[in-house]
Amino acid sequence: MKKIIVPIDFSKHSEYALETATVLAKKHNAEIIALHMLELSSAFISSAPDPNITLFYVKIAENKFKKLLNKDYLKDIIITPIIKHYKVFSEVNDVAENQNADLIIMGSHGTSGLKEVFIGSNTEKVIRHSSIPVLVIKESPILTNFDNAVFACDFSEKTVKSYNDAKEIFNILETRMHLVYVNTPNSGFKSSSEMEIKVAVFLNKAEGNLDKLKDVNYVSDYSIEEGILNFSNRFGADLIGVATNGRKGTLHFFEGSISEDVANHSSLPVISFKI
């Protein structure tokens, strides 16, 4: 792991993400790219009567960065601040690709109910556009040793890439990967033998063998999101991994916006992998 992108809005949640990135950067001798997007629109910038207005907001952001990057926990860390003039969430991925970054880490407060429908989450928008893994942090990173991770997917052929990407990141993080298949009454219910056959076909495709069968957990629940979250909390996982279709359409695997819901509602860190 060489470069980590951390979108910064100077909130406590984005600082949680920065603290997490710092721990990983120290461990892997990586550089942090701290990215801030000004709360301006392209229309505002082009129509502003005085071009110094934009410069004024840039100076405010630079001063905030100066204060933030003076934190004790950032000592001895290679960190590069980048300021974009306005919010275009696809640009986070553009910066990540231009910098050849390995990971994006974001802070998020999560959402629920009507707030989720009408406001949504900046984190979700970044996940939709990102071609690299996005790690979502909800709380202050008291512990950043991700010893055990749950990876949930539908074990279809299209998720082989996200599975392999998850394996690679978890190996870097020195994290043991536990697989989970969630069976629900209203979403493609399968018998035990049908689930086992599907998983065996998937692992043979992804691994070339069935050695990982012992790491697969079969869970029954009322929804896939509940199955993932309930199992992860009961299992004592440190991290949840999910597959996402990203910008190709709705953010989901199986049926519905499962990875989006998990990222919103989990108290555990969640990392998404592009299908």
CA separation for the pair 261, 124 (Å, rounded)? 10
Q: Is 135 helix (H, G, I), strand (E, B) or coil?
A: strand
| Predicted confidence band of residue 253 (pLDDT cuts 50, 70, 90) | very low
- Higher per-residue confidence, 151 vs 12: 151
Could you report the per-residue pLDDT of 124-163, keeping only the tens digit for each? Answer: 778 878 899 999 988 776 556 799 999 998 899 999 999 9
**Stretch 23-45: mean pLDDT:** 80
49 has pLDDT over 60: no
CATH class of 1-140: alpha beta
pLDDT of residue 254: 38
Measure CA 195 to chain center: 27
DSSP 137-181: E-S--S-----EEEEE----GGGHHHHHHHHHHHHHTT-EEEEEE
Amino acid at position 98, single letter: N
pLDDT of residue 241: 94
Burial class (CB within 10 angstroms; exposed 0-12, middle 13-18, buried 19+) of 222: exposed
256 has pLDDT over 50: no
Please, are residues 183 and 222 in contact by the beta-carbon 8 Å criterion?
A: no
- Higher per-residue confidence, 248 vs 238: 238
- Higher per-residue confidence, 71 vs 86: 71
CA separation for the pair 5, 24 (Å, rounded)? 12
When computed from its CA atoms, the radius of gyration of the chain, rounded to whole angstroms, is 20
**Stretch 167-177: mean pLDDT:** 93
**Mean predicted lDDT score pLDDT of the chain:** 83
Ranking 173-177, 237-241, 250-254 by mean pLDDT, the lowest is: 250-254
The encoded tokens of residue 232 equal 């992860």
CA separation for the pair 148, 178 (Å, rounded)? 7
CATH class of 145-275: alpha beta
pLDDT of residue 202: 96
Could you report the per-residue pLDDT of 89-113, keeping only the tens digit for each? Answer: 778 888 999 999 999 999 887 554 4
Could you report the per-residue pLDDT of 197-209, keeping only the tens digit for each? Answer: 999 999 999 999 9
Q: Is 115 helix (H, G, I), strand (E, B) or coil?
A: helix
247 has pLDDT over 60: no
What is the tally of helices (H) and strands (E) in the chain? Answer: 10, 10
Domain with CATH 3.40.50.620 in the chain: 1-140, 145-275
CB count, 10 Å around CB of 159? 22
* Residue 119: DSSP 8-state: T
pLDDT of residue 55: 75
Cβ-based neighbours of 262, under 8 Å, separated by 6 or more: 152, 225, 228, 229, 240, 242, 270
| Predicted confidence band of residue 119 (pLDDT cuts 50, 70, 90) | very low
pLDDT of residue 203: 96
| Predicted confidence band of residue 115 (pLDDT cuts 50, 70, 90) | very low
- Higher per-residue confidence, 222 vs 108: 222
CA separation for the pair 251, 241 (Å, rounded)? 14
The encoded tokens of residue 268 equal 């555990």
